[in-house]
Structure 1
Amino acid sequence: MSPKKQASTRKTSLYRLNAPADPGLDLHTLVEERYRGREGFTTTPVDHAGVVGLLVTGSIARDRAEWCDVLSELTGADVQVAGRTSSGLLLVRTERAVYAVTYGMGHHMIDSARLDLGFGLQFALRCLDQDGISLVRRHLMDARGRTNENSTTRGGNLRDLGTEWIGSIVSKITGKAIDLPLTHTSAGRRSLGVSCTDSSISLPLGRSPQQFLNDLRVIEDACTQPAPLPGLESLAKVRSLRRRGKTDLVRELNERLDQYLGDLDAPGLALNFPGECASHATETRAIRIMRGSRVIDVGDLDIDDIRQFVRDRPDGCRLSTLKDVRVQLFADEECTESLSPPIPGHRWITAEVRSGAAHHFYWQGSWYEIGAEFVQALRDDVTELLGRPSGVVLPTWPAGKKTDEDWFNKEAAKQPGYDLFDKKNVHTGTFRGGGLEICDVLGPEGQLIMVKKADKGSSGLSHLFAQARTATEALRYDAEVREKFLARVAELRPNDPPEDTLATPTVVLAIRLKYGVPLTADSLFAFSQVSLLQTALALQGMGAKVEVVPIYA
């Protein structure tokens, strides 16, 4: 039998680093400090057949693998197996940039602050076949903080995979590359599979120095294309700035956020429920804020409730202090029945910082960059949604301590044809404790009216949007909730067929902005616009009609 021919390529992870392609740059500075000179690791300068850079290799040996204890307990046998973790990192300097090629656990050796976080998606959006996408992982910038991963074995376009551009942060995309003269395709192979994250590309690269350098040039040329390929533009609208907050831009944004936390008039700061808490918004009766021995309990959370723990701190210390604050939801006013774990305070805020055409947003504890095109598209869609006519008429809501949400709901229910449902929760085996609040007021044509007073940010709106989704989902899919709600409607309206209320429900989001500011796309914080559109899409997908009604002062 003839020996097997060695493949000309090998699947490799490739990163581009935020470092100048300067021959004077010390490449050692791009390696995580704990691996520099570490026992068992070797660092070697490289200058071979045009490949110029730095090679770092090594392994961490263990006399006994960490899983031996588990197997010993389960089987009663004395399991003794050595463990070894191997890592390889090659830093390569070209005329344009510095790249990192990794094998095994080699990616852990890169200083994460030096990763170019746009590299992987920049490449993917300029070379992937729009009809050959096999996987998209995206994060939705709404109140629930959800992550969706859609995949197909045969490949398809973004619409087939069910992706929406509104508030989607793509962190991974896999598919077939087209028209790239790489070593892999020139060897007679028909297609090239590529998997890209925000910072990396995983693809076959040439094994010889000449092939490898040629492949790097092809990738560099692809990244210089002026715009994403048709059909992929929507994925380029939002860019994550994650990676432990070490980049210069993130440090600058954190400084701005730190200043906002100490400024009572800061325009770009608002409150937002973390994803794991949004589903409990309708059940919450008390919220506890803690730092050290200081504890404050509130009924409705406001941004200033959290900010008071940090605003008197010195410059540069507020954000770090906020990360020590904990916020917890409870189902009872005595704070004995917890609905959530204590969650760090910085995950309860959103912030917006504008820098030229780009907007940067702090959301769920991370920064994101959104271009002007995305912001304008948001504004147009929100304007259309706010302009839809509604059959609901609501009273004014003047400022004053006595005119709280409870007062307004009762005023609205005094109108002919309207009924009060605020605090008349439905209790079922699923919704125990505080039960489920379906709506605040039932409209004359069975509209589910949900009321919220909020500032221009997300503080009350994320609660409102979560209530709308939870109530609509429960009415649609939970027979016990639906039966109990319809029974209550029948008691109040014996002459109206209660089933008609839910055949094609109308959900009315009634919003009063702080200080009586008019409700427009311009007066809503950008993430509130995202959450509003995501909520409208979700409700429409469940067969509901969505209306947004402003409440005037």
Structure 2
Amino acid sequence: MARTYRRLNLFMAKPLGAGMTFADLLAAAPVITYPMANSLGIDGVLFVRQSAEKRPSWGSLLDEAAGHVIPDLANRSSSAVLLLRSNGDIFAFAFGYGRYLIEQSLFVQDFGLRTALNTLDNKSLRSVDLHTLEDQPVQKKSQAARDSEVGVFGIDILRDVLRAVTGIPKRGVALKQIAGGDAMFSFGVDMEAVDFPALAQRIKGYYANEDYKASFSWVDNVRKVRDEASVNALNAQLVQAISARNPGILVTLPEIGAWDTILGFSFTRNKDVVRPVINSEDYINTIADLPSLTIENLKRDRLFVHDVDGNTTEHSVYRCIYFEIINGDKTKIIFDGKWYEVDATFIGRIAETLNSIQISTLAFPAVEVWEEGGVSKIESEGDYNIRAAAAHGYFLLDKQLVKTDRTTSPIELCDLLTPTKQLVHVKHRKGGSAGLSHLFAQGGVAAEIMLGDKAFRKKARTVLRRVNAAAHDLVPLHTVRSADYEIVFLILGEDSATLKQNLPFFSKVNLTKAFENLTQRGFRVSIGGAPTTPRLLP
């Protein structure tokens, strides 16, 4: 048979266990097995599943519109996978919907993405798929109109996990139209059936090298753990840590909450005991038999969020857990119900930047806590800001919104403004990583808009005059010198001495990003904490 251009999808299997065969790599689905032609000399098996012809679900609607049954409306999908052994390695070529025939947890999880990065011309990318490590995780796909460099896609190397990429192969790679994501590598090539083993080995060679580090080294900063066996092992360590009451276990909201309306939190088996902050011990103490805890318990149990209007929302405790496992030069982190592997070098860079962030020298009162009607309560951000402003002569700008055409809604210049031009942004520690990352982003956005938008400054000055005439000229209309200002991130419920080290990793990432962005623009940046103290009864 003459060579023909084909579009192929390739997977590489992990080493088979003792006694395993090709068939053990398949997912549970009925298939027909075909041996390979003797003339090819290929050690492999072809598995084919052909779905029965089905009429599409929208066919009946068209029948009704036409007044009679419309013939020849049919869907048919075919699936096939060729599993073969070459030089001791096992590969799967998938055709049609064949990728659904294999048990993908038994295949090398980064084979597709890494091979693509090793073979792509870094200046001819067509699309990228990203998973952004936000408190409310965002998945994005960006596509360029023509061959482009990676910078065109606006990738944030501190927070974006690259999931898939497409583009043109670099010179010397005899493939066409490359795409890779997770375990699957897709490519075009001129070939015939006898070429399957040699082609698979050639692709493995591309996977095995480290060419990608020249242009894509940042992809190793944070990678999602996708291998089912690895996830199961990490889940087992998580359960063991909870059972041992490991102090590193943190329960936090997996998304940004409306903190002005949140009354408190409770857990399954103790729903009526509402606390003002999320405390991991409160959950652990509800488990009667800790040694028998399972990952299914964590997924089934709930964190309840109670608001001031009597409404309750809930999240799986498994989604709410934040925990770090250090193993050698790698750190594994569970966040929003997903495990991530963080490179040690990346962690070191984050720690180095954190060390550069100064602790604020401003005076702040402690946050008041008390018991009321058998319920533990903590001072709200709004009440705290009012008290802090009165105690130290700060201007209260909390909830004083300024309109700008650079954001979708009006924003606060800050929560507290000092006479010496410190812009203080305040957030409760009880919100976990979700609230903290929102705090850092909020401070960065407000400072950048103040610096670059004269119309915003004009409106801000009007707000400042309304708050206090003495605050009016703290934001000049025409020329703003960023060096005159200090951006202060104040976190309620945590002492300054332990603040930085106790931040969740992804909050550390977002803090360092805000710090670097703001200091590059000339602002001074500091962080401070306000511990809790019992409220004195009148």
Above 0.5 in TM-score? yes
Question: Contact 1:123–1:222 at 8 Å: present in 2 too?
Answer: yes
Q: Which residue of 2 aligns with 1:217?
A: 201
Q: Distance in 1 between matches of 2:308 and 2:437?
A: 23
Q: Distance in 2 between matches of 1:321 and 1:479?
A: 54
Q: Distance in 2 between matches of 1:439 and 1:546?
A: 15
Question: Contact 1:130–1:157 at 8 Å: present in 2 too?
Answer: yes
Q: Which residue of 2 aligns with 1:32?
A: 27
Q: Distance in 1 between matches of 2:134 and 2:345?
A: 19
Q: Which residue of 1 aligns with 2:407?
A: none
Determine whether 1:248 maps to 2:248.
no
Give 1:99 shift: 1.3
Matched residue type, 1:56: F
Structure having the larger proportion of residues in helix: 2
Q: Distance in 1 between matches of 2:289 and 2:464?
A: 52
Determine whether 1:98 maps to 2:90.
yes
Give 1:526 shift: 2.2
Question: Contact 2:433–2:506 at 8 Å: present in 1 too?
Answer: no
Give 1:21 shift: 9.3
Determine whether 1:525 maps to 2:493.
no
Q: Which of 336, 358, 363 lines up with 1:394 in the alignment?
A: 363
Give 1:270 shift: 2.1
Q: Which residue of 2 aligns with 1:497?
A: 472
Matched residue type, 2:197: L
Question: Contact 1:136–1:151 at 8 Å: present in 2 too?
Answer: yes
Q: Which residue of 2 aligns with 1:172?
A: 164
Q: Which residue of 2 aligns with 1:548?
A: 526
Give 1:12 shift: 1.1
Q: Which of 46, 52, 72 lines up with 1:61 in the alignment?
A: 52
- Gapped regions of structure 1 (runs ≥ 5): 185-191, 429-434
Q: More deviation in 504-513 or 478-487?
A: 478-487
Q: Distance in 2 between matches of 1:75 and 1:483?
A: 63
Cα RMSD (Å): 4.0
Query: Structure 1 pair 164/469, CA: closer, same or farther in 2 (3 Å)?
Result: closer
Q: Secondary structure at the match of 1:460?
A: helix
Q: Which residue of 1 aligns with 2:425?
A: 450
Question: Contact 1:474–1:482 at 8 Å: present in 2 too?
Answer: no
Q: TM-score, normalised by structure 1?
A: 0.78
Give 1:197 shift: 0.3
Q: Which residue of 1 aligns with 2:348?
A: 376
Q: Distance in 2 between matches of 1:99 and 1:420?
A: 65
Question: Contact 2:402–2:412 at 8 Å: present in 1 too?
Answer: no
Q: Distance in 2 between matches of 1:153 and 1:531?
A: 31
Give 1:372 shift: 1.4
Per-residue CA deviations over 1:342-377 (Å, capped at 9, x if unaligned) read 433322222111111111111221111122122112
Matched residue type, 1:61: A
Q: Which residue of 2 aligns with 1:233?
A: 217
Give 1:92 shift: 1.6
Q: Distance in 1 between matches of 2:460 and 2:274?
A: 31
Q: Which residue of 1 aligns with 2:8?
A: 12
Q: Which residue of 2 aligns with 1:432?
A: none
Query: Structure 1 pair 515/415, CA: closer, same or farther in 2 (3 Å)?
Result: closer
Give 1:29 shift: 0.7
Question: Contact 1:150–1:162 at 8 Å: present in 2 too?
Answer: no
Give 1:495 shift: 3.5
Query: Structure 1 pair 550/416, CA: closer, same or farther in 2 (3 Å)?
Result: closer
Per-residue CA deviations over 1:172-228 (Å, capped at 9, x if unaligned) read 11122224454x4xxxxxxx3211102111102454234332222221222222453
Determine whether 1:204 maps to 2:188.
yes
Task: Trace 1:75-154 onto structure 2 (pairs within 5 A).
Answer: 78-79=69-70, 81-154=73-146
Q: Distance in 2 between matches of 1:53 and 1:208?
A: 16
Q: Which of 334, 338, 357 lines up with 1:366 in the alignment?
A: 338
Q: Secondary structure at the match of 1:116?
A: coil
Question: Contact 1:206–1:212 at 8 Å: present in 2 too?
Answer: no
Query: Structure 1 pair 403/282, CA: closer, same or farther in 2 (3 Å)?
Result: closer
Q: Which residue of 2 aligns with 1:320?
A: 296
Question: Contact 1:513–1:519 at 8 Å: present in 2 too?
Answer: no
Per-residue CA deviations over 1:507-533 (Å, capped at 9, x if unaligned) read 42123674664344x544322212323
Question: Contact 2:118–2:212 at 8 Å: present in 1 too?
Answer: yes
Q: Secondary structure at the match of 2:201?
A: helix
Matched residue type, 1:394: A
Give 1:155 shift: 2.1
Q: Distance in 2 between matches of 1:399 and 1:131?
A: 56
Q: Distance in 1 between matches of 2:524 and 2:433?
A: 15
Q: More deviation in 6-15 or 349-358?
A: 6-15
Give 1:265 shift: 3.5
Question: Contact 1:353–1:359 at 8 Å: present in 2 too?
Answer: yes
Q: Distance in 1 between matches of 2:146 and 2:66?
A: 42
Q: Which residue of 2 aligns with 1:188?
A: none
Q: TM-score, normalised by structure 2?
A: 0.80
Q: Distance in 2 between matches of 1:193 and 1:316?
A: 51
Q: Distance in 1 between matches of 2:517 and 2:69?
A: 54
Q: Which of 26, 32, 41 lines up with 1:42 in the alignment?
A: 32
Matched residue type, 2:34: T
Determine whether 1:357 maps to 2:335.
no
Q: Distance in 2 between matches of 1:281 and 1:181?
A: 52
- Gapped regions of structure 2 (runs ≥ 5): 371-376, 404-409, 532-538
Q: Which residue of 1 aligns with 2:310?
A: 335
Q: Which residue of 2 aligns with 1:285?
A: 262
Per-residue CA deviations over 1:388-413 (Å, capped at 9, x if unaligned) read x86x6123648975985657645532
Question: Contact 2:142–2:153 at 8 Å: present in 1 too?
Answer: yes
- Report percent identity of matched pairs: 20
Per-residue CA deviations over 1:88-140 (Å, capped at 9, x if unaligned) read 11112122421111111111111122121121222123222222222222222
Per-residue CA deviations over 1:242-292 (Å, capped at 9, x if unaligned) read 36xxx221111001111233343432x224433xx32x4455423565648
